[in-house]
Structure 1
Amino acid sequence: MVSLGAGGGNSPGRQAGPGIGGCHCSKTRVSSPLYRMDEESPDGLLFKDHDFSSNLLKQLNGLRQNRILTDVNICASAWEVPCHRNVLASSSPYFRAMFCSNFRESSEAKVQLKGIDPTTLDQIVLYVYTGEVHITAERVLPLMEAASMFQYPKLFEACSSYLQSQLTPSNCLGMIRLSEILSCETLKKKSREVALKYFPEVASSADLRELCALELRDYLGDDELCGEEEKVFEALMVWVKHDLEARKRYVQELFKQVRLQYVHPAFFYHFIASDALLQTSPACQAILETAKRQVFSLYGTSAPDLKPLCHVPPRNSYQDFLILLGGRKDSQQTTRDVLLYNGQTSQWQDLAKLPTRLYKASAVTLHRNIYVIGGMAVRSGKSLACPNVYIFSLKLNQWRLGEPMLVARYSHRSAARKNFIFSIGGLGDRQEFIGSMERYDSICNVWERMASMPVGVLHPAVAVKDQRLYLFGGEDIMQNPVRLVQVYHISRNTWFKMETRMIKNVCAPAVVLGERIVIVGGYTRRILAYDPKSNKFVKCADMKDRRMHHGATVIRNKLYVTGGRRLTSDCSIEDSDAFDCYDPETDTWTSQGQLPHKLFDHACLTLQCIPHTSTFP
């Protein structure tokens, strides 16, 4: 006899006999595919049969199929399905209320269900008895409606997940309407994400033209919309003209959703400002006049009777990309490479190469494009100063030829302000010193001569802040540092100069960082921040090396410095592949790694753009 009480057990060397089902009563575990003892307690073992419930459902489904112990027929029109009341009541609150309350269905042999077809009824019953259902494109909608009506939330979400997997730009607006009818928030959220992310494709769909005014306003005003403002305006006008008489009264309210600050000026003047429908609305005309004077005018004047155009940030879909282009690579000849840095992955990506090799060209960003201006090019074996302008679109990853400058120049400096580009100084074909400045008007697509700088310099640090263009330092024709700040008043087309002992930079970039202009190195490690309002310089944390011919740009209020040449402790010159970041809040530098190769005399720019989604995954 085997004792199972406390302190009982087999004597040493004696084997216990088999228990019920072949399970020994010693501490030896017997593994089984059907059950296992998971938890040991002072009073024994807790037995868990993990397949019991699924086996029970299978047995119940077998009884149902053979009409054994079934006590109700649920019907869809003339179609009847025998079931067990207790199984249905256990599966959903809907059937629990039907069969466990004082409704007449609780005692009827047949229960007629409205709003469901026979095929869907079969699928619901199969789900109740097996926990399985096959969702297809043809059956998903009636199945989802039935899951909502009979209160099967997991089946409802499974149908929602299936529909989400079928989303495309052509059907997402229809899916939003469907999600509202079915009160499905997960489907609505995903459909809206697709509609916003693939806005250009969605804007051309017939579904957009069927939106009501409030829906369109909510859609076009969303910060997450991935599309240029030109596309937003075009979508608005297509919607209005689809039913002009009924919809023209909404033009004023909907036009406010177009963020005019980020529209290309040529598009603004040629398509928006001249639109006949907008001209019929006094309120729209006032918005246009304000935009003309405050956004697209270089002089920023505003009439006293016009309300200021409220500042609206760019949509969240815009991203800042760091771009490097041209320069001298690994001490070799001038490169045509164009590189994009992805801050999220810390990876460099090759873009379309420059159309030609340009030595000491200048480059700026304007209207989501890069303008590469002038430089020295080799033609027929001769090096010649070039007046050409090449324009790069990140969205298309393509270059095109722009309007050439009036004067061919290289080793010059360029800066952009609103709709204009200023190109200053440099050298000509015969290496003659050029003190002139010219300005490009992107609206009229012309270059025009402006006032020349007071003192001709090469390689100054250049930046634009508010209504003024600043030239810091540089060198004269004898390569001596010039301790000057030369300031150009843009609206007056006049210059003035200030002497200062703080300036001694050559071949250094300058950037606008917050309210200050930062001069980055230039044969020195020193970083100077200039406050135009107080006309004072402040020293920032030094760079690690004495640096020149490097690039610098600002992304999200941080300064990034790339490549260049550095002076070693023994005054020799080395090319650099350094990639560093300065944080003005902490006044500290951190390394971002290395460039793909050593590089100097290159352009380093920040380009704000919406990533192009050419295909829907």
Structure 2
Amino acid sequence: MDEESSAGLLFKDHSFSSDLLRQLNGLRQSRILTDVSICTGAGEVPCHRNVLASSSPYFRAMFCSHFRESQEAKVQLQGLDSVTLELIVTYVYTGEAHITAVNVLPLMEAAAMLHYPRLFEACSSYLQSQLAPSNCLSLVRLAEILSCDSLKRKAREVALANFPEVAASADLKELCALELRDYLGDDGLCGEEEKVFETLMAWVKHDPQTRRQYMQELLQQVRLQYIHPAFFHHFIAGDALLQSSPACQAILDVARKRVFSLHGSSTPDCNPLWPTPPRSSYQDFLLLLGGRKDNQQTTRDVLLYSAQTGQWQSLAKLPSRLYKASAVTLHRSIYVLGGMVISEGKSVVSRSVYIFSLKLNQWRLGEPMLVARYSHRSTAHKNFIFSIGGTGEGQELLGSMERYDSIGDIWETMARMPVAVLHPAVAVKDQRLYIFGGEDIMRNPVRLIQVYHISRNTWFKMETRMIKNVCAPAVVLGERIVIVGGYTRRILAYDPRSNKFVKCADMKDRRMHHGATAMGSKLYVTGGRRLTTDCNIEDSASFDCYDPDTDTWTSQGQLPHKLFDHACLSLQCIPHVIGLS
């Protein structure tokens, strides 16, 4: 655009420079005024020194200094083939280069050598567009040789984001120990820890004589506390190569105590494992299972909510229409226990266990409970699931408790609770299982905290006037257990260490039969039934979040439909692995 001022008109011809280049290229092609020939092998390209010197610091130094090439009619360039040289010269005179899969590597090397940074980055961009799990590791190597940070960064991102596929490639087995350690230890690696371990062992076994010396260093990059205990037991603990290393055995001994001991990480001589948090590629998801929806029909729906996207989606339905079953998460699977099966107008109390894999979006049958029960409570700790109380086949109130061992795949009867109750709030904290309140056989509130010592298989009880909850969930939030509503708006936070309650900000409504779970440092409450001001009961689709740092509630919108008596769980997984990214 021209610029007019009181001093006159500044005329700008934006096509002049490109026209000039075209004219110069025509002169070059006709060998008019050319004063130097660039040679490589048998190839020879006539050029103008001033054009080359203007295009690159490399040629400026060659032709504008006291080097002998400044006086020679022919200049030999090493490391280029004739086709690449022609592409470079065409770029110099036209600003254009046709980059293909065949020529990109020699062209990029030439651009680096001759100091054409924009052409170099264009080649990098092309290679980035061609990145795949099958070639990303080799392109990381190339980027390191050429000092191309943009390509190295992108290729590494692809390798980490597609780690299971990359782990199967031949290129991975050719990494040096330092390179493999950097990948396995990266917090952004998108792979389950079982795959990380398998990759490490496949790499070592590719050349065991040379590589076994690196096993300890590499094993420390595997976050063993997040490996499924059955996998640890069957595939890690007895591995012959690991057993041959005293240092690796010491690492596994610590992990074994952490994974299998009922005492957990508080066991004497059980040092904390490195690094404690799961990889950053894991995301939080909220799941709602079963319950009664809109028209109060028992539903088989399973809904998944992503905290990152704020979106809901439907998953594989429950295998049976279950009323007042219980559900827990264990080893990143979901277990649905017991309940009353509704089928063809008949109701049967069940002892069935269904296990859901989020990765496969599939249900399968598990080992059934010892006792059929519904309206019971369940919770998980370490490798165990505890199923507590409820109502039995004869509609009797159950005071029994049974425990499922996920390693041995067996159920066993544990000590009975001191007082049988219905609809209590249940949570596990610091090796103890807490049962808050509930109601007795006459539907009267029970003002008790019943505490089960997990490793000792013993109970004791404490009376308290603070407890009067029925049909309320309990959620572990930080160091406290939060009891959420239960025919009340009240939220109580219990500190097991001090045996004291703290009153938190009330919910908006008096709620019961709702769901609650923790994701990150916050509490999420879903659906339920609410008591209106005129004492009517309404079903709810509300979805609320409590932040303990600010002691405030915020609405997260609405559930896809009204829902109560449902299971509400949170689960961490890798979206890429389960096809949710």
* TM-score, L = length of structure 1: 0.92
Aligned residue identity for 1:242: H
Deviation digits for residues 2-33 of structure 1 (CA, Å, limit 9, x no counterpart): xxxxxxxxxxxxxxxxxxxxxxxxxxxxxxxx
Larger CA deviation: 605-614 vs 63-72: 605-614
Q: 1:224 aligns with which of 173, 185, 188?
A: 188
In structure 1, what is the Cα distance between the partners aligned to 2:123 and 2:11?
36
Match of 2:342 in 1: 378
Are residues 499 and 303 of structure 1, via their aligned partners in 2, closer, same or farther at CA, if it must alter by over 3 Å? closer
Which residue number corresponds to residue 504 of structure 1?
468
Question: How far 1:287 moved relative to its partner?
Answer: 1.4
Q: Secondary structure at the match of 1:612?
A: helix
Cα distance, 1:380 vs. partner?
Answer: 5.4
- The equivalent residue for 1:570 is 534
The aligned counterpart of 2:569 is 605
Q: Is the 8 A contact 1:323 1:341 kept in 2?
A: yes
2:399 matches 1:435: yes
Residue 188 of structure 1 is aligned with which of 142, 152, 159? 152
- Note if contact 2:529-2:537 (Cα within 8 Å) is conserved in structure 1: yes
Distance 2:579 2:454 in 1: 44
Deviation by residue 1:128-156 (Cα, 9 ceiling, x = unmatched): 00000100000000000000000000100
Work out whether residues 385 and 405 of structure 2, in 8 Å CA contact, stay in contact via their aligned partners in 1. yes
Matched residues in 2 for 1:45 and 1:376: separation?
A: 89
Question: Following superposition of structure 1 onto structure 2, how do residues 103-502 of structure 1 map, counting pairs within 5 Å?
Answer: 103-300=67-264, 307-379=271-343, 381-502=345-466
Q: Which residue of 2 aligns with 1:29?
A: none
Separation in 1, partners of 2:275, 2:93: 60
Q: Which amino acid aligns with 1:209?
A: K
User: C-alpha displacement at 1:302, in angstroms?
Assistant: 7.8
Aligned alpha-carbon RMSD (Å): 1.5
Match for residue 32 of structure 1? none
Q: Which deviations, in whole Å up to 9, do the C-alpha atoms of 1:436-472 show, x marking residues without a partner?
A: 0000111111111001110000000111001100011
Residue aligning to 1:24: none
Contact 2:360 2:578 in 1 (8 A): no
Residue 585 of structure 1: aligned partner: 549
Mapped partners of 2:275, 2:463: distance in 1? 37
CA distance in 2 between counterparts of 1:275 and 1:129 reads: 63
Distance 1:474 1:431 in 2: 17
CA contact (8 A) 1:88 1:128 kept: yes
Summarize the Cα distance change of 1:616–1:116 in structure 2 as closer, same or farther, 3 Å threshold.
farther
Q: Is the 8 A contact 1:293 1:302 kept in 2?
A: no
Q: Does 1:526 align with 2:481?
A: no
Q: Alignment partner for residue 58 of structure 1, among 6, 13, 22?
A: 22
- Once the two structures are TM-superposed, the CA of residue 352 in structure 1 deviates from its matched residue by 1.0
> How far apart are residue 245 of structure 1 and its match?
1.1
Q: CA deviation at 1:42?
A: 2.2
Q: Distance in 2 between matches of 1:614 and 1:446?
A: 28
The amino acid of 2:307's aligned partner reads: G
Structure-2 change in CA distance of 1:168 and 1:616 (3 Å) = farther
The SS at the match of 2:322 is coil
Shift of 1:346: 1.6
Contact 1:286/1:306 (<8 A) preserved: no
Output one character per residue of 1:456-498: Cα deviation in whole Å (capped at 9) or x when no partner.
0000011100110001111111111111111111011011111
Q: Secondary structure of 2:482's match?
A: strand
User: Cα deviations across residues 581-601 of structure 1 (Å, max 9, x unaligned)?
Assistant: 111111111111100100000
User: What is the TM-score of this pair, normalised by structure 2?
Assistant: 0.98
CA radius of gyration, larger in: 1
Measure, in 2, the Cα distance between the counterparts of 1:537 and 1:301: 26
- Which aligned runs of 4 or more in structure 1 are off by greater than 4 angstroms? 301-308, 613-617
CA distance in 2 between partners of 1:362 and 1:344 (Å): 27
One-letter amino acid matched to 2:412 = E
AA partner of residue 254 (structure 1): L
State whether residues 88 and 95 of structure 1, in contact with CA within 8 Å, keep that contact through their aligned partners in structure 2. Answer: yes
SS of the residue corresponding to residue 48 of structure 1 reads: coil
Q: Would you say the 8 A contact 1:290–1:302 is kept in 2?
A: no
For 1:229 and 1:268, the matched residues in 2 are separated by 11
- Point out where structure 1 has 5 or more consecutive residues left out of the alignment: 1-35
2:82 aligned with 1:82, yes or no? no
Give the drift of 1:40.
Answer: 2.5
Q: Give the counterpart letter for 1:136 in structure 2.
A: T
Distance 2:280 2:265 in 1: 29
Number of equivalent positions: 581
Q: Secondary structure, in 3 states, of the residue corresponding to 1:68?
A: coil
Equivalent AA in structure 2 for residue 545 of structure 1: D
Task: Tell me the SS of whatever aligns to 2:420.
Answer: coil
Q: Secondary structure at the match of 2:305?
A: strand
Alpha-carbon distance in 2 for matches of 1:80, 1:351: 66
3-state SS in 1 of match to 2:297 = coil
Comparing 450-459 and 395-404, the one that deviates more:
395-404
1:193 alignment partner, SS class? helix
Q: Secondary structure at the match of 2:572?
A: strand
Deviation at 1:304, TM superposition (A): 5.9
Rounded Cα–Cα distance in structure 2 between residues aligned with 1:303 and 1:601: 38
